[in-house]
Amino acid sequence: MGKTLYQKVWDAHKVGILPDGRTQLFIATHFMHEVTSPQAFGMLRDLGLKVIHPERTFATVDHIIPTDDQSEPLADERAEAMLREIRKNCAENGIRMFDMPSGLQGIVHMVGPELGITQPGMTIVCGDSHTATHGAFGSIAMGIGTTQVRDVLATQTLAQTPLKVRNVRVEGKLRPGVTAKDVALHIIGLLGANGGLGYAYEFGGSTIDAMSMDERLTLCNLAIEGAARCGYINPDETTFEYIKGRLFAPTGQAWDEAVARWKSFASDPDAVYDDIVTISAEDIAPTVTWGISPDQNIGIDQTVPSPDDAANADTRKATVEALQYMKLEPGSRIKGLPVQVCFIGSCTNGRISDFRTVAHYIKGRKVAPGIKALAVPGSQMTAKQCEEEGIADIFREAGFEWRLAGCSMCLAMNPDKLVGDQVCASSSNRNFKGRQGSPTGRTLLMSPVMVAAAALTGKVSDAREIFNIH
């Protein structure tokens, strides 16, 4: 009987079975940022323990970093304290940190892939929910809590129970103007925000096979929004091509050996899954969230649902709550809803291809009067590339504020925040209440090109119409 990639990676990293029945799993790579690591180091110190494999942990700063003025000390004292703390902890423990002066700083889930640290067949963890992003390379990548960060630092292992594997297959050619973000939102809408509980999602099918690595990263990034602890894609030539030549990629003979090993991790053709879901690419439209959970989404031409149409009492309650918070009427159109803020960035859609695509469409055009439009590259490497290719200038000339690398308005643990009940068209991954910094702020998740269309028109718009995409 064939095995899935999940089973193969699991078996390759199994250290043993613990007395409570869980598996002790070796962790190949540990990523770290400034928010969830200080307490872990504190616990380590209290226990008198050392970091066992400092060479397997990589740190950066992203959540709290301002994207306009990064002069130090940072204006926000708490942010400055976190910055000092991670620098100290990394220096004391011999951990490599991609700090702001390095030119390699950025959102942790962008830095790993861009530097070639993220590779197929790895077990990868980070004290951050969106660690699933790294699964795009064919690794088991999971978000962990602070005590688990401590455990990984101390032992380079983690106590885990295996997940079931759901094969989510998307077949066919995407319609023009439909992106990986739309695919991800569509899947979450179909399977539910809790539909992936207890599962790893293996994304496959001809649509996924045809995706670039940037698109695959977007898709896996959102696996956790469907409650799948991790999402992954089998490694193929697209994967290897992306990794080749990056800073941490193997070279020479080691490269050939690595590719052979990486290929061996791909799911067998006769692998057995706990569940299989097949979706037709044709059915996916440019998708926008209308509610306060990523699964509360609709195609751009659809109307906001009514509680009366809810399948059960729980969905009805959730719909009522979301409509109230979002100040939307049942049956109203999402298209045409005025927005005040537009944000392109985050670990979901802050990559070079996102900015290239949007730049192509907005060149020579202007952001609508009164709209605050932010473009925030997810990493310094991406920012540099955007400058070199003239992309940053296209954004600036269009009226976007072109910012420095960081999480920015995805989470608003930095000065980029919504004010009052502003509506934000956002390329990020969470539309929870208050997520973007104002307790009454409203987030509409969509693809970067849809955010760009909203920025140019001042309202939720169909990018296909605005940019003549056919």
What residues are designated binding site for [4Fe-4S] cluster?
A: 347, 407, 410
Nearer to ligand SF4, 144 or 279 (CB): 144
Helices (H), 21-179: 38-46, 77-93, 108-114, 146-155
Q: Should residue 403 be labelled a site residue for ligand SF4 when binding is judged by CB under 6 A?
A: no
Give the contact letters, 59-88, x = binds to ligand SF4 (CB under 6 A), - = no: ---xx-------------------------
In the chain, what is the straight-line distance between the N-terminal and C-terminal CA atoms, in Å?
A: 44
Q: Should residue 407 be labelled a site residue for ligand SF4 when binding is judged by CB under 6 A?
A: yes
Residue 316 DSSP SS3: helix
Q: Should residue 410 be labelled a site residue for ligand SF4 when binding is judged by CB under 6 A?
A: yes
Assess whether the previous peptide bond of 73 is cis (omega < 30° from 0).
yes
β 23-26/157-160 pair status: antiparallel
Q: Should residue 347 be labelled a site residue for ligand SF4 when binding is judged by CB under 6 A?
A: yes
Helices (H), 102-251: 108-114, 146-155, 180-191, 206-209, 213-221, 237-243
Nearer to ligand SF4, 188 or 285 (CB): 188
Choices 207-215, 250-258, 285-293, 407-415 (CB under 6 A): range interacting with ligand SF4: 407-415
Nearer to ligand SF4, 83 or 456 (CB): 83
Nearer to ligand SF4, 10 or 137 (CB): 137
Cβ count within 10 A of residue 246: 15
Q: Should residue 105 be labelled a site residue for ligand SF4 when binding is judged by CB under 6 A?
A: no
Q: Measured between alpha carbons, how far is 266 from 79 in angstroms, rounded to an integer? A: 41
Nearer to ligand SF4, 185 or 407 (CB): 407
Q: Which helix (H) or strand (E) holds 359?
A: helix 352-362
Shortest approach of ligand SF4 to residue 108 CB, angstroms?
6
Give the contact letters, 108-127, x = binds to ligand SF4 (CB under 6 A), - = no: -x------------------
Q: Should residue 409 be labelled a site residue for ligand SF4 when binding is judged by CB under 6 A?
A: no
> Helix, strand, coil: what percent of the chain each, to 5?
40, 20, 40
Among the listed residues 57, 89, 123, 346, the single contact to ligand SF4 using CB under 6 A: 346
Which residue from 115, 279, 262 is spatially nearest to 207, judged by alpha carbons?
279
Using CB under 6 A as the binding rule, the residues of this chain from 418 to 437 that contact ligand SF4 are: 428-429
Q: Should residue 174 be labelled a site residue for ligand SF4 when binding is judged by CB under 6 A?
A: no
187 and 168 in contact (C-beta within 8 Å)? yes
Q: Which spans of this chain sit near ligand SF4 (rule: CB under 6 A)? A: 62-63, 107, 109, 128, 130, 346-347, 407, 410-411, 428-429
